[in-house]
Amino acid sequence: MIETRLGEFEEVILLLVGILSENAYALNIANEFESQTERPVSIGAVHSTLTRLAEKGFVDSEMGVATAERGGRRKRIFKITASGELALKNSREFKLSLWKQYPAFSKLSFSAS
Amino acid sequence: MTPQQHSPPQLAERLITWLLKDELAEEVLGDLEEKYYQMGNRQSWAKARRNYWYQVINYLRPFAISIFKSNNSIQLIMIRNYLKIAFRNAKRNAAYSGLNIFGLTLGFTACMLIFFWVHRELQVDRFHENSENIYRVWRNMYQTNGNVVTTGYIPQPLQGVLSTEYPEVQALAGISWTMDLLVEQGDQIGNEIGFYASPEFFEVFSYELLVGPSSVLEDPSNIVVSDRMARKFFDVVEDDFSEVLGQTLVLDEEEPYLVSGVFRAPNELSSLDFDWILPLKGLVERSPWMPSWDSGSIRFFAELAPGTQPTVSKRIEQEINNHVDEEIDERLILQSIEDQYLHSNFDNGVITGGRIVYVRILSAAAIFLFLVVCLNAMNLISAQSTKRTMEVGIRKVLGEPKGSVRTQFVLESLLLSIFATVLALIATWLLLPYFSVLIDVPMSFEQLGLSVISYTLLLIIFAGLLIGIYPSVILPAAKVIYALKGKSTHRLSAGSYRKILIVFQFSISIVIAFGAMIISDQVNYVLNKDIGVNKDNMMLVELEGSLSEKYPAYRNELLKIPQVKMVSGATANPISYGRSTGSAQWAGKDPAANIEMGIILVNDDFIETMGIELLGGRALSREYGADSSNYLINQEAAKIMGFDNPISQRLSVWGREGNIVGLIKNYHVSDLYEPIPPMIISYVPSDTEVALIRLEGDVQDAVTKIDALTTNMNPKYPFEFEFLDQSYADSYRNEMVVGQIVRWFAIISVIISCIGLFTLTTYSTYLRTKEIGIRKVYGAEVDQIVLLLSKEYSILILLSILLAVPVTIIYAEHWLDQFSYRIDIDALHLIIGGLAAMIIGLMTVGIRSYQAAVANPMRSLRDE
């Protein structure tokens, strides 16, 4: 059985894959993570998470084109799958419903996002 | 800078390529490289390199690394299979494997201890930066009677000659004899050892000068002390010794000396031991006799320009003869400082050995033991592996090549030796403290450092290969068809091969055991030999400070102590003595002859107190007024002088002419390596430096009383004494220690050989189980069967003993020849030793055979 829930780090990485779309490869995701969260992360950690996400079926990947700065090596571009998007949506709705039950915040509107 | 000039750290790149799964290599290496250039261009290249490593290490995760996923490499699969089989085999034959590992561990431990010790011995005096260019000067004094006396004490004027006339000498250290000085500073008081040395001392040697100028040994009013001594006499804060400079120390109750420098105390790898150094200039100024070519007082160490040793050796040889007009022949020789510790014995002016003899004996014993251990393991494995021909057959049928089967057996023996080595390392670590006490040499793992690891690795690999040779060669060669039937095709040849091994290892064990016996015989002989002096209950007290002058009063006080029977005095310990003179003249002496004679200066009652036998004439005493120019001589001297009756003959020593008044029996003046020299005993009460006290009764109590008396009369000096029998025994410590170690080796190698014998008997009785069963059914008695089974091995043991005897005799004779006084090898001891080996061996075989013989034949015949 494959675990289909998302961990916090996994969710962020999955979102970043969606945001970066064409440029979503391990190094770029790690850089983006660092600049958005200001938390250091190693490429290996990101890559490991991407592999896990792929096992769960949330991302798909294919080899991209080679560039000179990588010594002529190609990069693996990750793409979010339909079930990945569904998982993100479920996660967001689940959290929204939790937020709504929180009395202090229930009056706020989240529709703006 | 353009990126082309930089590239990611190669080592890290290779590491990740090696570990990473192949399918990930392209993207990961690409990412890493891109990151590297990004960081390099934006920040710094050093940072980029560090980051590359960081990224690489962070990639070492299960998802990315190849060993965590199944790998298709056939070798890896096979190795895993070999390991599995090895463990199963070890478990199935737990007793065999246990015995084998036990034997290996025992042997390896002993070998490691010895090799560590040898390693340390070889390091002594090599810590000096230029040790390969530092030479010690020795002086060979050729005697008319053909003997050559060698000493390291050289005439002091050589210093000037070497420094001015020899351009090859880059630095020269002249050192006086090592002495004990009473050092005082305020309330602190103590005896410290050290010597006088010339200014270039710290240039020649690499003893570290912590504080002080390079001219630290110039001014005679200065003293240089060790950090240990500085801490003892001054308040030293942390490691700051600069405060100590300029402070004063009072030496021997005389004038104060200024501390001009502090050096780090010599480590245990230095053969020179000292806590202070005084400028040599001061000693020479105070000793008018010193700057003469006729006396020897200084040890010289010269640092030569590389490669100039042969030229200097040639030129220096005649240096003394060139400066002395008299008819003497004294030649100087050079010895590398790297050799002086281990090669310190001179025989007729030629370096013949020293400690190196013991290094060699123990290395040889260790190497032999190592061989015994490995052969034993090899024997066990090969005996056992015959049971595995079936396995080999199946492997071969399934298509495994010979080479691969070979790998399996080598791997198994490698595993065995790794396991045994790890156990042996632990054992060595535990035993090292006891071992270093036994051999009286401080050793620790920290000090050994890297060499431990390299030794261990070598040991593992070498032992593993050695053990693995037999099974890996013989087994895969078996014909498949026989192998599958469980028969070994090579039983005959393998059997005789094992027999040769057994004979070989048993012989070695017996040689080691014989060696241990002979060493301990010689040591016993030396310790119990009548050396011509009654050394039991004989106490020697050093007369320090003013005690020497107060000797008559001291003697009177001593004689009041009830246990003190007699008291005499001499210049030094009479049985560890080296002073000699070439000045003796007597009637009929060839005027050109140069004969060195031992001379000892004594006080009243010397002969009686020491228990030396008087053969004719009378002893020396103040009662005969003119005895200060009368002499006693020993038999050896009488022989050289050519007197049948020496009494009343004229003799002059150092220009003082008198009569020979008595003849004494030869007694041993130094150790038994040396022959007894001609001796002259002269009555010079004023030169009494040690008191010789004959005790009787409660010695413990006497020591307490003498301590109190001595301290009372000489309060500043610590009371120092020795017992002659103890110090005599101490001078043979090397021999005793080596004897003890060899004895341990003998025990270990006999145990190991017995393990081997035991398992081999087990194996051969196993092969003959059916035969024994059938014999019993037909009415054979137990003793007949035991005899039948033991016969084969008894012959082997006998053969080993016969082989061991001549080898032992050759080596033992060689060792014993160093002693001037030695035992003859005792045939009875060899016979007893041989019999003991025979009995131990037969019992080992017998027990196993008996077990097989009493077994119920039903059992052995049932399984078909």
How many CB atoms within 10 Å of residue B834? 20
**Element (DSSP H or E) covering residue B148:** strand B148-151
pLDDT of residue B3: 44
pLDDT tier for residue A105 given thresholds of 50, 70 and 90: low
User: A45: which chain B residues are within 8 Å (Cβ-Cβ)?
Assistant: 58, 61
Q: pLDDT tens for residues B424-465? A: 989 988 988 888 888 777 777 777 767 777 777 887 888 888
- The string of DSSP codes covering B78-98 is HHHHHHHHHHHHHHHTHHHHH
Q: Do β-strands B350-353 and B345-347 pair in parallel, antiparallel, or remain unpaired?
A: antiparallel
- The string of DSSP codes covering B787-833 is HHHHHHHHHHHHHHHHHHHHHHHHHHHHHHTT-SS-PPP-HHHHHHH
Q: Decide if B540 contacts B690 (C-beta within 8 A).
A: yes
pLDDT at A108 over 60: no
Of B34, B54, B63, the CB nearest to A51: B63
Q: How far apart are CA B556 and CA B547, in angstroms?
A: 13
Of B32, B37, B63, the CB nearest to A43: B32
pLDDT of residue B457: 80
Which residues, numbered 40 to 99 in chain A, qualify as contacts with chain B under a Cβ-Cβ cut-off of 8 Å? 42-45, 47-48, 51-52, 63, 67, 69-71, 73-76
CA nearest to B20 within chain A: A44
pLDDT of residue B224: 93
User: A48: which chain B residues are within 8 Å (Cβ-Cβ)?
Assistant: 61, 63-64
Q: Decide if B166 contacts B312 (C-beta within 8 A).
A: yes
In the block, residue with structure tokens 């396991």: B419
Best A34, A63, A69 member to test B by mutation, with max B CBs in 10 Å, is A69
Cβ-defined contact of A42 to B32 (cutoff 8 Å): no
The answer to whether the predicted template modeling score (pTM) of the entire model surpasses 0.80 is no
Best B19, B27, B28, B65 member to test A by mutation, with max A CBs in 10 Å, is B27
- Closest CA relative to residue B570, chosen from B531, B596, B595, B598: B598
CA nearest to A26 within chain B: B31
Cβ-defined contact of A71 to B3 (cutoff 8 Å): no
Strand partners, B346: B351
- What is the average per-residue pLDDT within B240-260? 85
pLDDT of residue A112: 44
pLDDT tier for residue B492 given thresholds of 50, 70 and 90: very low
CA nearest to B24 within chain A: A76
- Residues with Cβ within 8 Å of residue B832, at least 6 apart in sequence: none
pLDDT of residue B205: 92
- Residues with Cβ within 8 Å of residue B246, at least 6 apart in sequence: B258, B259
Cβ-defined contact of B64 to A47 (cutoff 8 Å): yes
HEC string for B784-798: HHHHHHHHHHHHHHH
Q: What is the residue-averaged pLDDT of chain B?
A: 83
pLDDT of residue B149: 78
ipTM of the modeled complex: 0.85
Query: Where do the H-state alpha helices sit in B348-401?
Result: 355-385, 389-397
pLDDT of residue B225: 92
Q: How far apart are CA B451 and CA B442, in angstroms?
A: 16
Q: Decide if B723 contacts B693 (C-beta within 8 A).
A: no
Of B31, B37, B63, the CB nearest to A43: B31
Which phi and psi (to 5°) does residue B357 adopt? -60, -45
Percentage of chain B exceeding pLDDT 70: 95
Can you read off the two tokens belonging to residue B453? 């690891």
Q: How far apart are CA B107 and CA B105, in angstroms?
A: 5
CA nearest to A42 within chain B: B55
Best B31, B35, B51, B68 member to test A by mutation, with max A CBs in 10 Å, is B31
* C-alpha torsion sign, points B590, B593, B598, B603: positive
Cβ-defined contact of A70 to B63 (cutoff 8 Å): no
Give all domains of chain A, ordered by start, each with its CATH number.
8-104 (1.10.10.10)
Q: How far apart are CA B753 and CA B138, in angstroms?
A: 47
Q: Decide if B625 contacts B607 (C-beta within 8 A).
A: no
Question: Which of the two residues, B859 and B229, has the higher pLDDT score?
Answer: B229
The helix, strand and coil proportions of chain B, stated in percent and rounded to the nearest 5, come to 55, 15, 30
Cβ-defined contact of A43 to B58 (cutoff 8 Å): yes
Q: Decide if B293 contacts B123 (C-beta within 8 A).
A: no
Cβ-defined contact of A43 to B34 (cutoff 8 Å): no
- Closest CA relative to residue A12, chosen from A35, B55, B31: A35
Cβ-defined contact of B27 to A52 (cutoff 8 Å): no
Q: How far apart are CA B110 and CA B421, in angstroms?
A: 11
Calculate the alpha carbon distances from B653 to B358, B534, B623 in Å. 40, 28, 21
